[in-house]
Amino acid sequence: MDQQANPNYALAELDKQTMLHPVTSIAALEADGPQMFGKASGVRIAGPLGHDVIDFGAGLWCVNVGYGRQELADAAASAMRDLSYYHLFGGASNEPAVRLADEILTLFHEQAGAGHLSKVFFGTSGSDANDTAYKLVRYYNNLRGKPEKKKFLARAGAYHGLTYAAGGLTGIPAYHKAFDLPQEGVHHLTCPHHFRFADAGETEDNFCDRLIAELERTIEHEGAETIAAMIAEPIMGTGGVLIPPRRYLERVQALLRKNDILFIADEVITGFGRLGSWFGTGHYGLRPDIVTLAKGVTSAYFPLSATVISEDIFETLRDASAEHGPVMHGFTYSGHPVGCSVALENLALMKRENIVANAAEMGDHLLRRLREKAGDHPFVGDIRGEGLMAAVEFVADKAERRFFRLPQGAHRVVARHCLQQGVAMRPLPFIEVVSFSPPLSINPAEIDEGVDAFVRGLEAATPELVKLAAD
Ligand code: PMP
C-alpha cells in the first residue's frame, strides 16, 4: 500500500515527533515507524498490518481475562462515579482498597504455607512493588538492629522492573549498561536455566547442586550478616520462561532461612493464575517473606501492584512504630479506589469463569500442540512451559548445541514473520526465545489458530534463520 494512503500514516508520523518509547530503539523507530495496534476483544487485537492478530503475549503477560470485558469497564465507570480518587496517606482509607487487600490475603491463605502473609501495600507497577520490597527490607533490618544487612541477591536473566532499585535487581545486561546499574550491593547468581547454562553432560540435578553450592559460597564469602534478601521469580519470564531445576527453589529457600536472609518472590507474572494455580509460590510450595504482584491483579485494565509482607516483618514495623513514627513510604495512587474496584471485579470474574483451571488445561494443550507442530523444526532447540507461560528457544545447530548470537536477533526475525501470519509473539531480550503467554481465558480453537500462525511464521523465517546460522 502507498504508505501515505495508510490511515495510520499521520499518526505514526506524530508518534515519531512526540514520543520517547520505553525499551525501543530510536534508530529503528525512526526508520520503520511505530507499529500501531487498535481495538482488541478476547484474545484478538487489531494489528499494525491491517488485520486482527491473536495476542500470544497477553500484552506484556498481563491481560489475563482477555481484552474488552464489559464487566471491568462497568466496574471502573461505577467506581469513578462513587469515589474517583482518594489516598491512603495518614490513615485515610477507602472500601475498595480494604476489600482488595482482604481478597488478596484470602487467596494466599487458601493455599498451603501462606498463612504467615499478613499485610498488603499497594502501588501501581511491578517495578514499584519491588522497590517497595527493597525499601521495606532495609527498614526491617534497620529496626531489628542489623543495619549492616543490606546486600541483595538476584539471578542473571531475572527481570524485576526498571525503576532504579528494581532495575539493579534485574539481571539482564541490556537494561544496565546505559544507567550505571546494577547499584552497589546487588549480586547476581548463575541463571538457573539448564538447557542453556548447564555444562556439557551436566544433568539437571548436578546443575542444581552447582547452583546451590554457588549460593552457599556467596553467602559465606559476603557474610550472611551483610545480606538482606534474595529476590526470585518462581519462573523467570522476560529472561526466557526459565523453569528452574527440580527442588532448586525449595533448596534456595531453605538456605536463605538458615542464614536469616529474606526471600522475596516476584510474582508479577506468575501471580493470579498464569501457571494454572493462583500463585507460583503455592504452585511450588514456597513460603516467601514478601510477595510482589501486579499485572494480572487487574488483568492490566488499571495499573495496580501489591507488595505482600509476612506477619514477622509487619510486627517488627509495628513494634517500632511509636518510637520511629510513620512508615514514610507511599505513592499518590496507593490503594486507588478505581484500580482496586477493577481488581475486585477481575478476581471475581476469574473465579466465576474458572479461569485458573482453564489456564492449567489450556497450558497442557498449548505445549502439546507446539511440540507436535514445531518440535522437529531444525532451529527449535527447546519447547517448555508451565500453565500458560511457555516458550520456544531457538538454536543455530541442534546436534552441536550451538546457539545463535543474541545481536543476530533470530527470535526477532521469527516474531516479525509471525505477526504477518496472524499472531503477536514477543521476542525476549536475554536469550533467543519467543514467549507464549496468551490471555488465560483462551480456548483450544484459538490456541490451535495461534500455533498454526506461529508455525507458518517460523517456516517463513527459516531462509533467514539458515543465513544467520551460517554467519
Ligand atoms: N517483575 C516481573 C517478574 C516482571 O515481569 C515485570 C514486568 N514485565 C516487572 C517486575 C515490572 O513490572 P512493571 O513493568 O509494571 O514495572
DSSP 168-214: HH---GGGTGGGT-SPTTEEEEPP--HHHHSPTT--HHHHHHHHHHH
ipTM passes above 0.95: yes
Residue 37: CB atoms within 10 A of its CB come to 15
Ligand 1: which of 160, 272, 274 to mutate, judged by most atoms within 8 Å of the beta carbon?
Answer: 160
Which grid coordinates belong to 244? 528452574
51 Cα: distance to centroid of ligand 1 (angstroms): 29
Ligand 1: which of 269, 274, 304 to mutate, judged by most atoms within 8 Å of the beta carbon?
Answer: 269
Report CA-CA distances (Å) from 253 to 151, 243, 250, 288: 17, 16, 5, 8
Ligand 1: which of 64, 124, 127 to mutate, judged by most atoms within 8 Å of the beta carbon?
Answer: 127
Ligand 1 binding pocket, CB closer than 6 Å: 60, 125-127, 130, 159-161, 233, 237-238, 266, 268-269, 294
What region does 237 belong to: left with phi over 0, alpha with psi -120 to 50, or beta? alpha
**What pLDDT score was predicted for residue 423?**
98
**What pLDDT score was predicted for residue 67?**
98
* Residues 173, 429: Cα–Cα separation, whole Å: 9
**What pLDDT score was predicted for residue 3?**
59
Ligand 1: which of 63, 295, 333, 437 to mutate, judged by most atoms within 8 Å of the beta carbon?
Answer: 295
Instruction: Phi first, then psi: give them for residue 195, nearest 5 degrees.
Output: -55, -40
12 Cα: distance to centroid of ligand 1 (angstroms): 27
Question: Nearest-CA neighbor of 387 among 427, 442, 337, 305?
Answer: 442
Which grid coordinates belong to 333? 495512587
130 Cα: distance to centroid of ligand 1 (angstroms): 9
338 Cα: distance to centroid of ligand 1 (angstroms): 21
Q: In what order do the strands lie in the sheet with 389-394?
A: 380-386, 389-394, 433-436, 426-427
161 Cα: distance to centroid of ligand 1 (angstroms): 5
**What pLDDT score was predicted for residue 5?**
63
19 Cα: distance to centroid of ligand 1 (angstroms): 22
This prediction has a pTM of 0.97
Which grid coordinates belong to 28? 529503528
**What pLDDT score was predicted for residue 112?**
82
Report CA-CA distances (Å) from 289 to 139, 232, 320, 422, 464: 14, 12, 19, 42, 47
Atom index in ligand 1 nearest the CA of residue 124 equals 15
What is the C-alpha end-to-end distance of the chain, expressed in Å?
Answer: 33
Kindly give the confidence (pLDDT) of every residue in the chain, 471 residues in length, as a single tens digit, with 9 standing for 90 and above: 455 666 678 999 999 999 999 999 999 999 999 999 999 999 999 999 999 999 999 999 999 999 999 999 999 999 999 999 999 999 999 999 999 999 999 999 999 889 999 999 999 999 999 999 999 999 999 999 999 999 999 999 999 999 999 999 999 999 999 999 999 999 999 999 999 999 999 999 999 999 999 999 999 999 999 999 999 999 999 999 999 999 999 999 999 999 999 999 999 999 999 999 999 999 999 999 999 999 999 999 999 999 999 999 999 999 999 999 999 999 999 999 999 999 999 999 999 999 999 999 999 999 999 999 999 999 999 999 999 999 999 999 999 999 999 999 999 999 999 999 999 999 999 999 999 999 999 999 999 999 999 999 999 999 999 999 998
**What pLDDT score was predicted for residue 4?**
62
Residue with CA nearest ligand 1 atom 10: 160
Instruction: Phi first, then psi: give them for residue 435, nearest 5 degrees.
Output: -100, 155
Which grid coordinates belong to 174? 541490556
Helix, strand, coil share (%) of the chain residues, nearest 5 = 45, 15, 40
Ligand 1: which of 21, 122, 238, 268 to mutate, judged by most atoms within 8 Å of the beta carbon?
Answer: 268
Atom index in ligand 1 nearest the CA of residue 267 equals 3
333 Cα: distance to centroid of ligand 1 (angstroms): 18
Largest Cα–Cα distance of the chain, in whole Å?
70
Atom index in ligand 1 nearest the CA of residue 158 equals 3
Q: How far is CA 256 from the centre of its chain?
A: 23
Atom index in ligand 1 nearest the CA of residue 295 equals 15
142 Cα: distance to centroid of ligand 1 (angstroms): 27
Question: Nearest-CA neighbor of 390 among 350, 355, 424, 362?
Answer: 362
